[in-house]
Amino acid sequence: MKIINSNTNKLLDDLLNRSQLDSAKEQATVDEILNTVHASGDKALFDYTLKFDKVDLSKQGLLVSREEIDEAYSMLDDKTIQIIRKAAENIKIFHQMQKREGFEIDLGDSYIGQRIIPMERIGVYVPGGRAAYPSSVLMNVIPAQIAGVKEIIMCTPPMSDGKVYHMTLATAKIIGIDKIYKIGGAQAIGAMAYGTETIPKVNKIVGPGNIYVALAKKQVFGHVGIDMVAGPSEVLIIADDSAEPRYVAADLLSQAEHDPMAASILITTSKKLAEKVSKEVDNQINNLQSTKNNAIESIKNCSGIILVNSIDEGIDIANKIAPEHLELAVDNPDKYLEKIINAGSVFLGHYSPEPLGDYFAGPNHVLPTLSTAKFSSPLGVDDFVKRSSVIFYSKEKLKGVYKDIDTFAKLEGLDAHANSVSIRFDSE
């Protein structure tokens, strides 16, 4: 890995300007797909599935059958089922604490308040192929269930045999989701955003995907809500002499293997640690199999080690980057936690590796990327509810304030606003 000093700004500039959403070619393809799905509905879905996935679903249909779900579940051994259930329970425990109640403020002959209302229907996109992650099912569905969403549908691409990846279906069954459609890519986003003869229009779309999915979600925002426009994964580790080089290298590679554009950054006060980690990355990368090429490209083009004079300097850089995942691999990490103001998720100490958050600890692994942690948050229960304000004034209460409202409205030049309150008392 590249080792640079903190006064070298190129790596930082590259990170802050990194994006997968600047391709006019992919955008044009997405626009065409969305327009066709909007106009042609199910026919477009069948055509695109045949074109991109080489699967003809026109006879069997888009909806995954109960038999297919049960068959997928039967393929799991008891140990795997128990692990998924444990992870689901941890996720439930964490997200249950996020649930909010409405409130009412009693002002005598008036009251004001707020209602928390679950969305009626949401759509979850679950990737297929190389990026088939059952953990995404848990992380996207469980907060919606806790929020009280009435209907949750799922879209995921079929494999070459026309079936859906069995781990995705089995995980969905474990948490009670059975409306699953065999459709992927931008066409799936269009189907959930606009609705087709088979797939209902949703209120919000959540879930990760490739560049076509990300661009499609960005494009349909406004027709429906979306969770975020996610970029490539990233981890930033701040480490001191107490860190174990093997652990740090392993954590860096756990993100590098996701994508050639994934970023894995080490910030350290120790040149000795930096050199050891660099060697460890080279050694461990050779042990990877299916994800080796991704990791090599990520380490070469989007990753590096930054030497700093102090942990506080490293935290300043981290706050500028605003990483998706931030590990504090230092002595007494709690000492520095309050100084971290821009990060999707923070992992404290030498035994809290980032994959712990991906699968098992409970906090959501759907996190802001590409510096968006400066203004956005992990996926949670709040993403699946709406807030409505409530106002009640009696006649006597309004009478006491209507002249103030009249004056305020006229200050803004809005005579009809003023009249709306004054007309109720014009006979007095």
Per annotation, catalytic residue among 234, 257, 280, 324: 324
Question: Is residue 324 flagged as an active site residue?
Answer: yes
Residue 178 main-chain phi, psi, to 5 deg? -130, 0
Question: Among the residues of 236-331, which ranges form H helices?
Answer: 245-256, 271-285, 292-301, 311-321
Say which amino acid occupies 232: P
Per annotation, catalytic residue among 95, 166, 258, 325: 325
In angstroms, the CA 72 to CA 161 distance is: 14
DSSP per position, 194-225: H--SSSPP-SEEE----HHHHHHHHHHBTTBE
SS3 (DSSP) at 268: strand
DSSP per position, 222-247: TTBEES----S-EEEEEE-TTS-HHH
DSSP per position, 4-24: EETT--HHHHHHHT--S---H
Sheet with 103-106, strands from edge to edge, namely 103-106, 110-118, 385-393
Question: Is residue 325 flagged as an active site residue?
Answer: yes
In angstroms, the CA 420 to CA 356 distance is: 57
Q: What is the dihedral of CA 308, 312, 313, 315, to 10 degrees?
A: 100
Residue 360 to residues 93, 240, 391, 399, Cα–Cα distance (Å): 11, 26, 43, 57
- Cite the active site residues: 324-325
